[in-house]
């Protein structure tokens, strides 16, 4: 396995609810590594802490507990100034291309900002050259740079968002549901663009999505989250074929099948996802799990490593 | 070379806003009135036939006071024989500049404190918002009168005092807007690029909350002109012989003037009325024009 780029250890993020002593446990003790050059897909239903995890990794949010290290350097104690140097190596692509671009700035101003922050000595001409080449990389035309975001379609805006993220030539990019706000036909284009850029700039992606097909197409490893916890993490093929964890099983059985051929049993989950303010005791998934045993209600399962390297958090005997 | 080829396009926000503003007839009339008043104030020396500070005389000796409209004086003269029209246009300079400077001071204080309060939150927010509450508790008129008497009433003191008392509305407004904009993804994007707080506030946040600030400042301008007029009428504002619309109304304290010599006070009163009304119309027009929610 290649070098570890991002190392997340037992990270927790609790948001205060306003009521004393009660917290939304958005992320409740997750640990994982992201290796250099890979794409780690993060899946889970709404509210399971995917996006929060992405932001914690970039220190856009501060962790409540645990540590996040980037290239061996721990981010927790770093000041804004110390962070600034690292910021150019880790970037984010946002979900909503309508909200992630400042409506009062032209594309040129948006894309010039990273250079203005990090390369203060750059002249306007140099910046202009850089911006033009960026815009070309993401498949927009040079005359687009003096337009305002609202003059673009969703796909084009997302390309601008991607251009901003890769402007400083980062090593690591968190993609926070980058295509879920786009039309399906546009999704493919943007995904392909991201794949091309990954090759060209040797990027490492953390790809957050709830679209299982895109994850399958795009990622090397997959992490499944449920209620602020990692339930399973491992190689894509192992996750999609073995379907060890009951939650993964249910999730993957929900992928619609275009051909209409039998794809095995559909597992319907009953009940709602529990409130993260008041998570269930023991395994967070036990109230909805069809294999629930006594131990599941009392003891939270740890991630266990299987023979093929997949880690699963379940009391069931998996091998 | 590529730069010259694609010329910087006009900000569509501005042109759209102008389109919507143009549709509002009242706002257009208001703007016309204010533009005429501003021009009159700027060209006061050319427009006025007589010096506003010199008492006119009939022939050589007799003071030409309280005379009605005639060929030499467009609006007659006041009780000391000074040309009413000249005083009116010179007063426009004073009244408008007091309004402008006072609002300028209060808006800047309001933006800075509101921005700090909204962006950083926590202790700074609490301290600043409590200050707002305290300043809001002051009976402003009374406070201004007291300070003006202590500091010696002058046009500059009035500007400063009014500026220092009226920033609370803007501060609250800016704070609220910043709380809204701060959670926008483009602000998160700037954070993830490593932008400084200063840069985020002034380059991303403030431009996006400018519309309501402009509207608020316009409305405050109308209030400031009224306050100045009241203070000057009470004698603690702009001091004679400098003319302001407010202190020109002092003449109307005299019952004989009030009933028999309307040219001494109607024009000044009308100017205050028209200026405040027009500015309020402009403010309403701007509010509708700049409101992004109405954007199609």
Give residue limits of the domains in chain A: 4-313
Q: pTM for the whole thing?
A: 0.76
**pLDDT per residue over B94-106, tens digit each?**
888 888 898 999 9
Contact B247, B238 (CB under 8 A): yes
Select from B2, B185, B196 the Cβ nearest to the Cβ of A94: B185
Q: Which of A102, A123, A152 to mutate to test the interface with B (most CBs of B within 10 A)?
A: A102
Type and span of the H or E element at A191: helix A184-201
The 3-class secondary structure across A42-76, one letter per residue, is EECCCCCCHHHHHHHHCCCCCCCEEEEEECCEECC
**pLDDT per residue over A14-24, tens digit each?**
888 877 778 88
Q: CB under 8 Å to B38, separation ≥6 — which residues?
A: B92, B96
- Average pLDDT over chain B reads 80
**pLDDT per residue over A60-101, tens digit each?**
888 888 888 888 888 887 887 888 888 888 888 888 888 888
DSSP per position, A67-105: EEEETTEE-TT--HHHHHHHHTTEEEE-S-TTTSS-TTS
**pLDDT per residue over A186-233, tens digit each?**
888 888 888 998 888 888 999 998 888 888 888 889 998 888 888 888
Contact A276, A228 (CB under 8 A): yes
Could you tell me which residues of chain B have a Cβ less than 8 Å from any Cβ in chain A?
A: 2-3, 6-9, 11-13, 184-186, 188-196, 199, 203-204, 207-208, 292
Q: Does this complex have an ipTM over 0.90?
A: no
**pLDDT per residue over B199-223, tens digit each?**
888 888 888 888 888 888 888 888 8
**pLDDT per residue over B176-202, tens digit each?**
888 888 888 888 888 888 888 888 888
Q: Which of B1, B186, B187 to mutate to test the interface with A (most CBs of A within 10 A)?
A: B186
Q: Is domain A4-313 annotated with CATH 3.40.50.280?
A: no
Strands (E), chain A: 4-16, 23-35, 39-43, 65-70, 73-74, 90-93, 172-176, 204-208, 221-226, 229-235, 303-305, 311-313
Do A100 and B207 make contact, defined as CB atoms within 8 angstroms? no
Separation between Cα atoms, residue B32 and residue A98, nearest integer Å: 38
Residue A89, chain B, CB below 8 Å: the answer is no
Do A113 and B190 make contact, defined as CB atoms within 8 angstroms? yes
Q: Which of A16, A104, A172 to mutate to test the interface with B (most CBs of B within 10 A)?
A: A104
Across the A:B interface, residue pairs with CB atoms under 8 Å apart total 80
Do A92 and B189 make contact, defined as CB atoms within 8 angstroms? yes
DSSP H stretches of helix in B43-83: 44-47
Do B204 and A145 make contact, defined as CB atoms within 8 angstroms? no
Q: What structural domains does chain B harbor?
A: 22-47+75-294 (1.10.3720.10)
pLDDT tier, B6 (very low <50, low <70, confident <90, very high otherwise): very low
Select from B3, B6, B192 the Cβ nearest to the Cβ of A92: B192
Quick one: pLDDT at residue B5?
41
Do A102 and B204 make contact, defined as CB atoms within 8 angstroms? yes
Select from B12, B186, B195 the Cβ nearest to the Cβ of A101: B186
DSSP H stretches of helix in chain B: 2-5, 12-23, 25-42, 44-47, 84-120, 122-137, 140-151, 155-165, 168-182, 185-192, 197-199, 206-234, 245-248, 255-260, 266-290
Residue A101, chain B, CB below 8 Å: the answer is yes
């Amino acid at each position: 396995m290649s070098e570890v780029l991002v190392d997340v250890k037992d990270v927790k993020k609790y948001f205060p609810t306003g009521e004393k002593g009660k917290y939304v446990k958005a992320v409740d003790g997750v640990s994982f590594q992201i290796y250099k050059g890979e794409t780690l897909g993060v899946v889970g239903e709404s509210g399971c802490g995917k996006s929060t995890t992405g932001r914690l990794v970039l220190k856009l949010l501060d962790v409540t507990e645990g540590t996040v290290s980037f290239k061996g350097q721990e981010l927790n104690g770093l000041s804004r100034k110390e962070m600034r140097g690292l910021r150019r190596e880790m970037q984010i692509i946002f979900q909503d291309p309508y909200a992630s671009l400042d409506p009062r700035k032209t594309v040129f101003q948006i894309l010039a900002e990273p250079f203005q922050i990090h390369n203060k000595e750059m002249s306007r001409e140099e910046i202009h050259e850089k911006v033009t080449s960026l815009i070309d990389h993401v498949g927009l035309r040079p005359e687009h740079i003096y337009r305002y975001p609202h003059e673009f379609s969703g796909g084009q805006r997302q390309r601008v968002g991607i251009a901003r993220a890769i402007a400083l030539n980062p090593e690591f990019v968190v993609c926070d549901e980058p295509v879920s706000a786009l039309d399906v036909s546009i999704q493919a284009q943007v995904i392909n663009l991201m794949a091309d850029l990954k090759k060209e700039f040797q990027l490492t992606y953390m790809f957050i999505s709830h679209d299982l097909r895109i994850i399958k197409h795009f990622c090397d490893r997959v992490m499944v989250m449920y209620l602020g916890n990692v339930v399973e993490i491992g190689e894509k093929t192992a996750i999609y074929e073995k379907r060890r964890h009951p939650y993964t099983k249910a999730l993957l059985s929900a992928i619609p099948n275009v051909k209409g051929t039998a794809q095995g049993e559909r597992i319907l989950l009953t009940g709602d996802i529990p409130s993260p303010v008041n998570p269930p005791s023991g395994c967070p998934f036990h109230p909805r799990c069809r294999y629930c045993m006594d131990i599941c209600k009392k003891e939270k399962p740890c991630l266990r490593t299987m023979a093929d390297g997949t880690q699963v958090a379940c009391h069931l005997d998996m091998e | 070379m590529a730069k010259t080829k694609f010329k910087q396009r006009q900000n569509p926000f501005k042109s759209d806003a102008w389109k919507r503003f143009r549709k509002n007839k009242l706002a257009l009339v208001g703007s016309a009135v204010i533009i005429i008043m501003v021009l009159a104030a700027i060209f006061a020396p050319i427009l006025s036939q007589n010096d506003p500070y010199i008492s006119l005389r009939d022939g050589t000796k007799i003071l030409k006071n309280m005379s009605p409209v005639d060929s030499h004086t467009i609006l007659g003269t006041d009780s000391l024989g000074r040309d009413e029209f000249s005083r009116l246009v010179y007063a426009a300079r004073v009244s408008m500049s007091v309004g402008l400077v006072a609002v300028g001071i209060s808006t800047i204080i309001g933006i800075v404190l509101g921005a700090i309060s909204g962006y950083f939150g926590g202790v700074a927010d609490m301290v600043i918002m409590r200050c707002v509450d305290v300043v809001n508790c002051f009976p402003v008129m009374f406070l201004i009168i007291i300070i003006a008497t202590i500091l010696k009433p002058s046009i500059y003191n009035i500007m400063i005092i009014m500026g220092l008392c009226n920033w609370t509305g803007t501060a609250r407004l800016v704070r609220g807007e910043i709380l809204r904009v701060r959670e926008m993804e483009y602000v998160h994007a700037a954070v993830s690029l490593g932008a400084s707080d200063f840069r985020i506030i002034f380059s991303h946040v403030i431009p996006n909350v400018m519309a309501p600030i402009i509207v608020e400042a316009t409305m405050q301008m109308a209030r400031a002109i009224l306050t100045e007029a009241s203070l000057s009428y009470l004698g603690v504002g702009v001091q004679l012989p400098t003319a302001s619309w407010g202190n020109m109304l002092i003449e109307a304290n005299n019952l004989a003037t009030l009933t028999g010599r309307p040219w001494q006070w109607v024009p000044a009163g009308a100017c205050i009325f028209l200026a405040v009304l027009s500015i309020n119309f402009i403010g309403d027009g701007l509010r509708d024009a700049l409101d992004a929610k109405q954007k199609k």
